[in-house]
A and B are shown apart, each in its own frame.
Chain A
Amino acid sequence: MFRAKIADAKYWRGLMNAISTLVDEATFNITEDKFSLRAMDSSHIAMVDFEMPSAAFEEFVCDTPVKMTVNVNEMLKLMRNVKSDEVLEMELREDVGKLVLRLRGRYVRNFSLALLDTAGEEPPTPKISFKAHVQMATDALKQAITDAARVAENVRFEATKDQFVVKASGDIGSVEAVFSADSDAIREISVEEDSKATFNLDYLEEMVKAATGISDEAIVEFSTNMPLRLDFPLTTGALRFYLAPRIESE
């Protein structure tokens, strides 16, 4: 049995939206103490690692661990015009194969979402020792990514001891965002080893855009030619993305 209540339904929608950037059919792992999901996108270029401890919910009841697979895009459709003053209640009804969503605002809205078969195992997280860690404002990261996407399909992240540079170049021109350690958008730059890596902008843009409303702060971690980890710390919980690099042959 699983049942939970979230005080801010709009925030929940934001989280589901972030997951939906990579995953269509999402399998959530629900245990006594947390609600989590770890999944790769179909091309295995990116991964989302999401975790909400039971304490983050207003009410959380789960007597036996269960896996719940739903189509997140369908869930988002149902929650499209959700208000932030609406409370969301979720109830897993395995007997009828549905997840019941109840929005309590000025009146009560009941939705139900079909449960899907759970297929496959949850992947492990990549074990990487990141050489560059940049803690920064999410909106500044979003701006840099959006600018880069105007000229190119790929973006290069470069970190040295005292600065983090986001650069991209394409046929029409080039863009470069320079974040020095003392700039307003940066909270901290810590670099063990100069690092450079190239990532796909389609993925990055979606991830960062989706996370903007959820977390003001982003932790960008990477190493030369290794996957990127984008960590968006939640008040209670974690939302992290991993993105495989593009490895240049020259």
Chain B
Amino acid sequence: MGGCWVKLDDFLELAEKPYRVLTEPSPDEAAQLILRSRGRDVVILFLRCEVEYAGRASSSLPLGDRVVMIKPDGAVLIHGGEKREPLNWQPPGSSITARVREGVLEIVSVRRKPSEKLVITSPVIFVALAARCAADQLVVRGLERELVEAVLREPGLIEPGFTPLKTEVTTPMGKVDLLGIDASGAPVFVEFKRGTAGVDAAAQLKRYVDHARRKHPNARGILAANSVSPAAMRVLREGGLEFRKLPLSQRKLA
């Protein structure tokens, strides 16, 4: 069984600082850093490496200087000098191992289902960083609100003759983003979703409208989003509800 002894110093240092940097570490030192950081720290390596991938397809990257990022959840990203997307990657849940073979650092990431294996071999490591990152989820604010505002400014985005009446309408089934009336005077409940609306959003809208139809059989429900999933579309169709495609906002996620 492979493994390595760790020095106590590592724990003394990390106790003080949320990171550890090794400049030009030996393959041994880099392997130790990777193993020790597993499940805890994000490891970023700048190294000269070759990458072999075998799984759903197979690929290889010739020897070159790249940035490799290994996250505590098992995700591995290999970045070159261009573009946003990594050249190659493994998803969270993959297991990572590092060892030294004939003086060369070998980082292996294995995913079981589907079976995928990524092997990074590196004779030269320039920098290795272990960083204790926060694992918080991005807090998204005001994005659906932005869509609502766009419709308030330009009600025709929903349909010609649509008149908004009230936002954030409280119903016994929860809050509806927007209530309006259509050209014929029928109440219209509009639920907004940023990006692709899923089944949840469709089902939620259905509950509002089903409830409203007890009093106003002509009540309509519109799900307004940038796109809709096929399953959500089915829920809408079965519930006699509609989907309205909204243009993507120009503002990017923070």
- Residues of A participating in the B interface, judged by any CB pair closer than 8 Å: 40, 43-47, 123-128, 198, 200, 225-227, 242-250
Contacts and interface: CB of A to CB of B under 8 A. Distances in A.
Given A248-B1, A249-B98, A250-B1, A45 B15 contact: no
Interface stretch (B2-10, B61-69, B138-146, B154-162): B2-10
B2 A249 contact: yes
**Interface core residue of B5, B15, B98, B99 (most chain A CB under 10 Å):** B5
A201 to B, nearest CB: 13
Contact of A247 (B6, B8, B16): B6
Interface in B9-34: 9-12, 15-16, 31-32
| 7 A-B pairs with least C-beta separation | A127-B15, A249-B2, A126-B11, A248-B3, A44-B7, A247-B35, A244-B8
B97 interface: yes
B5 A200 contact: yes
B12 A123 contact: yes
A249 B8 contact: no
A248 B97 CA distance: 9
Given A46-B8, A246-B6, A249-B2, 8 more contacts: A123-B8, A124-B15, A244-B5, A244-B7, A246-B3, A247-B4, A248-B2, A250-B3
A246 B4 contact: yes
Given A127-B15, A247-B35, A40 B6 contact: no
20 contacts: A43-B7, A44-B7, A45-B8, A47-B8, A125-B12, A126-B8, A126-B12, A127-B12, A127-B15, A128-B11, A128-B15, A198-B3, A227-B11, A244-B5, A244-B10, A245-B6, A249-B1, A249-B99, A250-B2, A250-B3
B2 A45 contact: no
Interface of B: 1-12, 15-16, 31-32, 35-36, 38, 97-99
B2 A244 contact: no
Given A225-B36, A247-B35, A247-B36, A124 B12 contact: yes
A150 B249 CA distance: 69
A200 B1 CA distance: 14
Nearest to A248: B3
B97 A40 contact: no
A62 to B, nearest CB: 28
B97 A249 contact: yes
A244 B97 contact: no
A45 B1 CA distance: 20
Contacts of B10: 244
A250 B7 contact: no
B5 A126 contact: no
Nearest to A47: B8
**Interface core residue of B12, B15, B35 (most chain A CB under 10 Å):** B12
Contacts of A248: 1-3
**Interface core residue of B1, B11, B97 (most chain A CB under 10 Å):** B11
Given A124-B15, A126-B12, A127-B15, A250 B6 contact: no
A244 B12 CA distance: 11
A125 B13 CA distance: 10
A30 to B, nearest CB: 23
B4 to A, nearest CB: 6
A163 B32 CA distance: 30
Contacts of B98: 249
Contacts of B32: 247
A236 B207 CA distance: 70
A127 B31 CA distance: 23
Nearest to B97: A249
Contacts of A244: 5-8, 10-11
B136 to A, nearest CB: 20
